[in-house]
A = this chain, B = another copy of it.
Amino acid sequence: MPNQSPSLDQVFHALADPTRRGMVERLVRGPASVSELSGAAPRPISLPAVLQHLQVLEASGLVRSEKAGRVRTCRIEPDALRAAEAWLTGQRTAWETRLDRLGDYLAGQGTDGQNTDDIRRGS
């Protein structure tokens, strides 16, 4: 089984939290400071909490941040988003390919649509 990469573990873990997904949704629209991320959260969230979530996002490779003077600016890293999307697209495609082949096979057997649906569900 491919895609056992530890980074997919970290990317999916990072995305399993609504606050962190909210931070990603903000950062795909452009860089933001930590306090801007705090303000963009769906519920009020403290700066230390934002920094903790930021740490998880940075460990996963989804976000990077740089400090200039007193301001830490966060940016999205699109490669990690793309890797997770590619894994999901691969699974969906494999599933659809299998359904298509089943459909072709059943069409070749001359079964009608109703039976094909029944067999698809039960297969």
Report Cα–Cα, A3/B84, bound state, in Å.
Answer: 17
Is A103 close to B, CB under 8 A? no
Known interface pairs A4-B42, A13-B13, A95-B78; A123-B21 also in contact (CB < 8 Å): no
Total interface residues on A, using CB and 8 Å? Answer: 41
Q: B16 to A9, Cβ gap below 8 A?
A: yes
Q: Across the interface, which residues of B come within 8 angstroms of A81, CB to CB?
A: 88, 91-92, 95
When all copies of this chain in the complex are counted, the total is: 2
Q: With both chains docked as a complex, state the minimum distance between the C-beta of A8 and any C-beta of chain B, in angstroms.
A: 7
A94 touches B29 (CB 8 A): yes
Residues of A within 8 A of B (CB): 1-4, 8-10, 12-13, 15-18, 21-22, 24-26, 28-31, 40-42, 76, 78, 81-82, 84-85, 87-89, 91-92, 94-96, 98, 123
